[in-house]
Amino acid sequence: MTTPTTRARITEITGNVVRERRDHLATEEPLEIRLTGAGARDRRTVAITMRTPGHDFELAAGFLHGEGIAGPGHIRAIGYCTDEDVAPEARYNTVTVALDGPIPDLPTLDRHFLTSSACGVCGSASLDVLRDRCAPVPAGALRLSPKTLYGLPSRLRAAQGVFGKTGGLHAAGLFTGDGDLLAAREDVGRHNAVDKLVGWASMNQLLPLRDHVLMVSGRASYEIMQKALAAGVPAVCAVSAPSSLAVELAREFGMTLVGFLREERCNVYAGMERITA
């Protein structure tokens, strides 16, 4: 079974000193997500994404939930694939998700069949599609103080074990309104990290994630906001900048979006009513 890190020999140059040494790299390998339905021939590959091995079942469950394909009540089982067409050495790179019923119509995924870890898998191509699938986030009771916000990046960083070895992974963390970290996931793809986190919540019957905060180590993109919205997360914080479409999504669906959250400063792009400053 593949590990999240890979050892490699490198040449390090410091000043005029050159030396050979070994280093840890973040592993990047493909993961194929297959669906099986109620019928014997009811099966389909829905995505191939480049990811860091680990929490693969959560990644599959989170992806399917975010795309509106299958929620926690529709998944019967998840396992590594043992189909005859999959070579033994590739079985840990293929996940089969068994649904309780037939496979739904999936036309929106056709143009996103193959994806890289950088761009993620996104079936909803625009806000118009998202409006048909998701309702605005309820106002809820979540309130965040600046002190709580300022503590999120360091708590997420402390949970990044693989990043500490490689320096090359994105992370996503789920926090309570008091700033307590509930779970964190890492991946070479920032969207995969969010999918793993949502998959963890789905498999533990925690969805929707009302009154929770999602913190991501990179920028806040439309895809990340879409996945947070589908999971019911009312507030998303990012270390870097949001995109224009991410801000538009947050404002339209009643979400709080915080960017450039570093040390004791941040920018609030939407949902200031949840911030107690």
> What residues are designated binding site?
260-265
Tell me how far the alpha carbon of residue 223 is from its chain's centroid: 9
Q: Which tokens sit at 153?
A: 């990046």
Q: How far apart are CA 52 and CA 118, in angstroms?
A: 12
Nearest residue to 50 via CA among 157, 170, 158, 221: 170
Contact residues for 64 (Cβ-Cβ < 8 A; gap 6+): 33, 35, 46, 70, 75, 97
Q: Say if CB 56 and CB 199 are below 8 A apart.
A: no
Q: At what angle do helices 190-203 and 56-66 cross, to 10 degrees?
A: 90
- Strand pairing report for 94-99 and 170-176: unpaired
Catalytic residue among 119, 122, 134, 266: 119
122 noted as active-site residue: no
Coil, strand or helix at 210: coil
Q: Say if CB 258 and CB 146 are below 8 A apart.
A: no
Q: How far apart are CA 254 and CA 249, in angstroms?
A: 8
Q: Which tokens sit at 204?
A: 């533990």
Nearest residue to 272 via CA among 131, 130, 127, 139: 139
Rounded to the nearest 5 degrees, what angle is found at the Cα of 189, between the Cα atoms of 183 and 193? Answer: 15
Q: How far apart are CA 274 and CA 248, in angstroms?
A: 17
Catalytic residues: 119
